[in-house]
């Protein structure tokens, strides 16, 4: 098993890519802290983890609220006494408005969830990992981290920022034993883009059809890439941006 006895926090792990990653991590022996705002979905995810013979617990957390993040870190340390892996996965697509139409509130919501939350959580967890002398962080960025497109101003800005955060933190903390990388999913079949995927004429669907994979990805396909970067198989990989997009961004 690739993550035997490792303690992993995965934000936004009650559905979509985060939940798929949680189940993959558990199958590889990790103890997973399930993180999200929705208690019902969180409890259901933990039930699935236990039914699969795994270990974990749910911590109800709003990643945009610093006190909530403190409670998450404290609860994890109380339960397990260490944090080996952090996956900053929670995200919102938010508005696709451009500069003429976007409100400051809309901007702040997208930036605080997709960029400031990973910053705040890394600020709390990197010292724990440095003290341990080891740790791996995987940030779930996006195809919107490397180009402009359908995501809109706030989402594209936040995901570009997340790549910068990944690279700079990797420079600053890699030598202390903390490996920090990013996955860049393309269109993945989750609630986030479910509506878009039902419209064949939508530019995203048209581009998917032209891409090498000719389809949207499954959450598990991103989860496996996250597993790779979080595991010792990626021991020489620091600050990388791994596209998991079926070739969507190569043309
Ligand atoms: P999803 O909507 O199924 O899941 C998002 C998760 O984030 C949910 O569990 C949600 O509860 C959680 N979340 C949102 N705001 C939160 C908050 N304030 N506090 C705690 N949890 C919060 O979407 P999906 O697709 O699984 O997204 C996961 C990540 O993948 C996001 O960062 C997203 O930007 C990224 N991504 C998704 C793509 C796609 O096509 N689905 C493409 C590229 C990146």
Q: What residues does each domain of the chain span?
A: 7-189+218-250
What integer pLDDT is reported at residue 231 of this predicted model? 98
Q: How far is the centre of ligand 1, averaged over its atoms, from the C-alpha of 178 (Å)?
A: 24
In the DSSP assignment, the letter for residue 85 is: E
The residue whose CA is least distant from atom 33 of ligand 1 is: 91
In the DSSP assignment, the letter for residue 239 is: S
Whole-number Å distance between alpha carbons of 56 and 116? 26
Model confidence pTM above 0.85 = yes
- CATH, domain range 7-189+218-250: 3.40.50.720
Of 12, 64, 138, 202, the one to substitute when testing ligand 1's pocket (max ligand atoms within 8 A of C-beta) is: 12
For residues 18 and 10, the answer to whether their CB atoms sit within 8 Å is yes
Structure tokens at 98: 């451009």
Residue 33 main-chain phi, psi, to 5 deg: -90, 110
Q: How far is CA 122 from the centre of its chain?
A: 13
| CB of 16 sitting under 6 A from ligand 1 | yes
**Closest of 36, 32, 41 to residue 85, by C-alpha:** 32
| CB of 197 sitting under 6 A from ligand 1 | no
What integer pLDDT is reported at residue 160 of this predicted model? 98
- Per-residue pLDDT tens digits for 162-214: 999 999 999 999 999 999 999 999 999 999 999 999 999 999 999 999 999 99
- Residue 155 known to be catalytic: yes
- Per-residue pLDDT tens digits for 209-228: 999 999 999 999 999 999 99
pLDDT > 70: what percent of the chain? 100
- Per-residue pLDDT tens digits for 54-107: 999 999 999 999 999 999 999 999 999 999 999 999 999 999 999 999 999 999
């Amino acid at each position: 098993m690739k993550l035997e006895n490792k303690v992993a926090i995965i934000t936004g792990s009650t559905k979509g890519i985060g939940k798929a990653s949680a189940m993959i991590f558990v199958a590889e022996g990790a103890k997973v802290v399930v993180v999200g705002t929705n208690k019902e979905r969180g409890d259901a995810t933990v039930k699935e983890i236990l039914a699969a013979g795994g270990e974990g617990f749910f911590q109800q957390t709003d990643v945009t609220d610093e006190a909530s993040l403190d409670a998450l870190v404290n609860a994890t340390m109380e339960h397990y006494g260490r944090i080996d892996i952090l996956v900053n996965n929670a995200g919102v697509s938010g508005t696709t408005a451009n500069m003429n139409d976007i409100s400051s509130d809309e901007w702040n919501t997208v930036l605080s969830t997709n960029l400031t939350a990973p910053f705040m959580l890394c600020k709390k967890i990197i010292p724990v990992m440095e003290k341990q002398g080891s740790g791996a962080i995987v940030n779930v960025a996006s195809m919107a981290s490397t180009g402009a497109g359908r995501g809109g101003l706030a989402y594209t800005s936040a995901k570009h920022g997340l790549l910068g955060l990944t690279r700079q933190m990797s420079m600053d903390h890699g030598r202390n034993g903390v490996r920090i990388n990013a996955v860049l999913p393309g269109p993945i079949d989750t609630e986030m883009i479910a509506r878009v995927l039902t419209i064949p004429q939508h530019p995203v669907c048209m581009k998917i059809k032209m891409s090498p994979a000719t389809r949207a990805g499954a959450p598990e396909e991103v989860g496996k890439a996250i597993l790779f970067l979080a595991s010792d198989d990626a021991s020489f990989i620091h600050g990388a941006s791994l596209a998991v997009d079926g070739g969507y961004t190569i043309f």
